[in-house]
Amino acid sequence: MALTLVTGGTRGIGAAVAARLAAEGHDLVLGYHRDAASAAATVAAVEAHGVRCVAVPGDLTTDAGIAALFAAAAELGELTGVVNNAGATYRFAPLADTPADEVRRTIDVNLTAPILVARAAVTALGRGGVVVNITSGAATLGSPGEYVHYAAAKAGLDLVTRGLGLEVAERGIRVVAVAPGLIATDLHATTGDPERVERMAPQIPLGRAGQPEEVAEAVAWLMSEQASYVTATTLRVAGGR
Ligand code: NDP
């Protein structure tokens, strides 16, 4: 029986991953920060698949937030997978116009927190299991004029995927990453640019933004036995960008 923990699992890409894994029979622990209404809606959608699901609020930039998630998972049973998905961009601006405390907060949410989640994951998994880190196409594009520091955090998480994947391979744990490109979620509007997806879509080689479900498909494959020989690498799901 699969038991998977998805951080940021109640909205956007994380919610699509939750629905996709629920359809395959995974029990789920879904982390979120503050949006309890989205959490309740996603839990209901997941439970409709006949699996167990709990949503756990908490800030992943705190030790308590991470501990609460893994404690909830331990109550449900033996953890088999973790999707390290929660992330945030707080503003679109050149680095010189981004306040220092916001740079720190961005690194904290998008790099330090996922490293500590991955650390807790490989401890909880013991022998076997899968960790999927959600990074970003930004990690290789650099995101000039938008969020260079976020891109750097995501590049760091790709390297964590490589290093940790090699570190735990002998325990049968696979660590992989999915790097989404431009995906139609609320992230762009909440960062202050609701038109971004529509404006940028024509620049994507496939001519459109991706849907959260298209990222979820890649995550589900990486978590499955079909990907049993894939580890310590990043799969780009970015329409060619
Ligand atoms: P959303 O903004 O739609 O959802 C983000 C989720 O992360 C929410 O569930 C949110 O909780 C949670 N979260 C944010 N900050 C924290 C925190 N401090 N502690 C705990 N949970 C937190 O984002 P997306 O679905 O678009 O993005 C998901 C991942 O994909 C992120 O890592 C993002 O960087 C990455 N990505 C997204 C792309 C895109 O174009 N959308 C492109 C490339 C990568 P709450 O609901 O309570 O706010």
> How confident is the model over 160-219, as pLDDT tens digits?
999 999 999 999 999 999 999 999 999 999 999 999 999 999 999 999 999 999 999 999
Which CATH number covers residue 31?
3.40.50.720
The pTM of this model reads: 0.98
Query: What would the two tokens of residue 165 be?
Result: 């994947």
* Beta pairing partners, 54: 29
pLDDT in the model for residue 132: 99
pLDDT in the model for residue 232: 99
Q: How many domains does the chain have?
A: 1
SS3 108: helix
Residues of the chain with pLDDT under 70: none
**Number of the ligand 1 atom closest to the C-alpha atom of 154:** 34
Domain span at residue 223 reads 3-237
pLDDT in the model for residue 208: 98
pLDDT in the model for residue 165: 98
Tell me the CA distances in angstroms from 134 to 9, 150, 157, 235, one per residue in order. 12, 13, 8, 10
**Number of the ligand 1 atom closest to the C-alpha atom of 183:** 40
Residues catalogued as catalytic = 150
Contact 14 CB / ligand 1 (< 6 Å): yes
Query: What would the two tokens of residue 128 be?
Result: 């076997």
Which protein residue has the closest C-alpha to ligand 1 atom 3? 12
pLDDT in the model for residue 14: 98
Give the residue, out of 185, 198, 211, with the most ligand 1 atoms within 8 A of its beta carbon, to mutate for a pocket test. Answer: 185
Helices and strands per DSSP (H, E), number in the chain = 10, 7
Q: How far is the CA of 199 from the centre of ligand 1 (A)?
A: 21
Q: What are phi and psi of 68, to 5 degrees?
A: -60, -40
